[in-house]
Structure 1
Amino acid sequence: MRILIADDHDLVRDTIAIFLESEGMSEIKTVENLDAAVAAVRENGAYDLVLLDYNMPGMDGLNGLRRMKEVNEDKPVAILSGSANPSIAKDAIASGAAGFVPKTLGARSMVSAIRFMAVGEVFLPYEFMQQAEEKTVGNLTERETEVLRGLSEGKSNKEIARDLELQEVTIKLHVKTLCRKLGAKNRTQAAMIARDRKLV
């Protein structure tokens, strides 16, 4: 089974590759953006499954998905994300994605989802869709609000990760999403906006 993983976060990319290799999937290719993913397919031929990070360089929303589907000869292409909401997940499926995989998915579940999509099935995590729709404060999820509270208290990513029992890379993803949603240039500005809008 040939899998291509495109994600601009080294740790996320490498971790998923290690999961898959430990499950006997030996032909895993990793790249850091959409252009590199397109180049890899053109060089090596279509992959059984391509995983695209929704927020990485070159994606331009779901346009990157459509571009990759054409290049990958209509073999399965799925969206991987640590921040996208259920409406984006639904849009991705409607645009022909083989599935939507949250980065918070456990290792075993992720491997199962990848096997499922590689054989032509569509994967959409039911619990994520339900929880994410239920737990929102304004346009922020419950987890994003918790991270924002930590930022407002002046805590580092490492401290917030320890408090919430999450990986530091997950907190970095949440901070990136918060800055985008709040229109903030950095974490300090995000904290200021949160206080001004009484979000925490």
Structure 2
Amino acid sequence: MRVLIADDHDLLRDTLVMFLQAQGGIETRTAADLFGAHRLIEAEAPFDLILLDLNMPGMNGLDGLKRTIALQDGQRVALLSGEATRDIVEKALDAGAAGFVPKTLPAKSMINAVKFMAMGEQYAPIDFMTAVDTTPTHPLAEKLTQRELQVLKGLTEGKSNKEIARDLDITEPTVKLHMKTLYRKVGASNRTQAALIAREAALF
């Protein structure tokens, strides 16, 4: 079985490779962005499965997924993400994706999912697809817009403005604007203080 893993986070990519190769009989190739993935797809023998990180450089949302599916006689392509919403996953599956693999999936489940999709099946975790969408009811969360909450979550994860902008598909100046308003709303004077307030409130 040949699997291509395209993700710009080195640690996650290397960990996935280690998990899969430990199974035996699985050959892996990796890329750090969509361009690198496309280059491998066009230059090498067909892959049984291609895993694409939703937020890596070049993806442009689901556009990257659709362009990859259209390459080389339509190889099987699945999304890999830690932040995809159910709506995005449903659109990806409708567009012909082989499935969706959350980055939070345990190693054994992830390996089983990869094998399942490589065999021609479509995969998405049942609990993810049937979960009821809930909006935080914390008093602090109620003060913030959905976008401000997303930016604040990025702050608590230690991400830079550039990383938050890329993850949310918005510009850095827009991120700064959201930060300015959320600082005022939560009573913070800087990003570290905002992240601490969010953590102490167990917002994420």
**CA-CA distance at 1:125 after TM superposition:** 1.0
1:28 equivalenced with 2:28 (yes/no): yes
In structure 1, stretches of 5+ residues that fail to align are 158-170
User: Residue 191 of structure 2 corresponds to which residue in structure 1?
Assistant: none
Larger-gyration structure (1/2): 2
Corresponding residue number in structure 2 for 1:163:
none
* CA 1:33–1:179: 2 relative to 1, 3 Å: closer
TM-score by length of 1: 0.74
Aligned pairs, number? 177
Deviations 1:148-183 (A, max 9, x none): 6x74xxxx84xxxxxxxxxxxxx88xx737973887
Contact 1:47 1:72 in 2 (8 A): no
Contact residue 86 and residue 129 of structure 1 kept, 8 A: yes
Aligned position for 1:139? 146
Q: Alpha-carbon deviation of 1:134? A: 2.7
Q: In the aligned structure 1, how far is the partner of 2:7 from the partner of 2:121?
A: 22
| Alpha-carbon distance, 1:22 to partner | 1.1
> Which residue of structure 2 lines up, in the alignment, with residue 160 of structure 1?
none
The CA deviation at 1:196 is 3.3
CA contact (8 A) 1:101 1:110 kept: yes
Aligned to 1:176: 164
Whether the aligned pair in 1 keeps the contact of 2:3 and 2:48 (CA below 8 Å) is: yes
Instruction: Kindly indicate whether the alpha-carbon contact (under 8 Å) linking 1:184 and 1:190 is maintained by their aligned counterparts in 2.
Output: no
In structure 2, the CA distance between the partners of 1:25 and 1:194, relative to structure 1 (3 Å rule), is: farther
Q: Secondary structure at the match of 2:168?
A: helix
Using the TM superposition, give the Cα deviation of residue 73 of structure 1 relative to its aligned residue in structure 2, in angstroms: 1.9
User: What is the TM-score normalised by the length of structure 2?
Assistant: 0.73
The answer for the alignment partner of 2:6 in structure 1 is 6
